[in-house]
A and B are shown apart, each in its own frame.
Chain A
């Protein structure tokens, strides 16, 4: 591992988070959460719904701020959203800019960074190709299927050249077949770009299919990450493989115990 690869892309240090408007310390969604994600890693966060996974992503995106502790990106405190931390949202329709073509959506980040028309188009073309949407450049989001829309979101996020890519259950709203295809592609895209990926899901199979490391969130309130698993399987992963099934089974057991509260006594 090179020196730069071991730098922390994201670091949570004893983070606590309360719903806005509530007193410090009371009703924390997240409490005393510490986690370090090195540069270039594919980290997956799994946990029961309502455990605060999405809140954690918002803290990294800079659209929410911790009540306690600090969140840093490359040792810099996060002051608000910027182009260094891109976000792929679960919502299929909400995040896309409906009045812009696929090409203009993907070129939005470069445009904000001051790139000229030709440069915007060139960058957009590269990432449209990467997500397999070549030939659909001039289409509007309304003309695309759900899976294609998520491809646009991924291309758009990458085109802004972020250091960290945050993915909030990006395929949860898609049909099972499309989801399977995109899960394989996102692993390939991560390898091609070499960026840090922080991926949130409640699907354990998806977590094992994608993550180098998997963090399991405990059930909220006062949610926390007590268990981090290293998944030592080569990419592309095969979910019919015996080792794969073994890991999924173990994780499922652990999460069930987590959900039933048995770990709370440890």
Chain B
């Protein structure tokens, strides 16, 4: 399928969705239950004009990126270490497979108590949610490197350190990349929960506060923007994969 055709199909499918939404809203005729798309646009413009929407978007994005990058920066070296060393694995495994099942949302209050209501608690919460996904992916990526690849490097004169930096690290990049992509999605999950509980800004804050003013249209506007933000960041990460990381990924970026 051509590029123009796929883009056209995507656009058409979104247009049809909006039309069905409009028709449904008109039929229900209850803007508090389901506001029509046009009301949502009006609400969004209203929030945009007073600057709330833009600043909320930026602050949420900053928290997501900060936590996601921090979590990945901790998780990647840890995952590489756990993937290569049996001793490291034995030490780290019990914690990983315990905390992996404690969702970040369960820790929101605890993080606020520990790190305050400021940015630190939100960024750390996202870092927490990111870490396990990226770490487990990285470690399993290391584990799935064919032994032949490492043996080949050693037989070509690489020492253990070179085999790690020249082979294990680049060969793990596809797994790290996929892990970070999954973690990005779960960061969005966590940010909304964190901003609902303790924040005076952010898209999660708008979603939570709109109910106080019965402004379902604002809520819809923030939800739509959150989805759009996720869509854009995912596309951006995919562009990184097709650009700077292209030689490492090849088949990984097809979807």
Contacts and interface: CB of A to CB of B under 8 A. Distances in A.
Nearest to A93: B146
A140 B247 contact: yes
B83 to A, nearest CB: 17
Majority secondary structure of chain A interface residues (helix, strand, loop or mixed): loop
B156 A157 contact: yes
A95 B170 CA distance: 14
Interface in B130-171: 146-149, 151-158, 162, 166-167, 170-171
Given A99-B170, A112-B162, A83 B155 contact: yes
A87 B171 CA distance: 20
A94 B155 contact: no
A174 B64 CA distance: 49
A82 interface: yes
Majority secondary structure of chain B interface residues (helix, strand, loop or mixed): helix
A108 B146 CA distance: 18
Contacts of A52: none
A113 interface: yes
B156 A160 contact: yes
A169 to B, nearest CB: 13
A142 interface: yes
Contact of B155 (A87, A93, A96, A98): A87
Interface residues of B, number: 22
Contact of A99 (B151, B156, B173): B173
Contacts of A61: 151, 155
A112 B158 CA distance: 6
A38 interface: no
B157 A160 contact: yes
A63 to B, nearest CB: 5
Contacts of B173: 99
B176 to A, nearest CB: 13
B235 interface: no
Contact of A94 (B149, B156, B166, B248): B149
B250 interface: yes
A87 B158 contact: no
B250 A142 contact: yes
Interface string A138-156: 0010100000000001001
A163 interface: no
Q: Which of A85, A95, A140 has the most CB of B within 10 A?
A: A95
Contacts of A86: 155-156
B156 A108 contact: yes
A112 B160 CA distance: 12
Contacts of B171: 97-99
A247 B45 CA distance: 88
Contacts of A82: 154-155, 157
B170 to A, nearest CB: 5
Interface of B: 146-149, 151-158, 162, 166-167, 170-171, 173, 247-248, 250-251
Given A97-B149, A108-B158, 4 more contacts: A83-B155, A95-B146, A99-B248, A112-B157
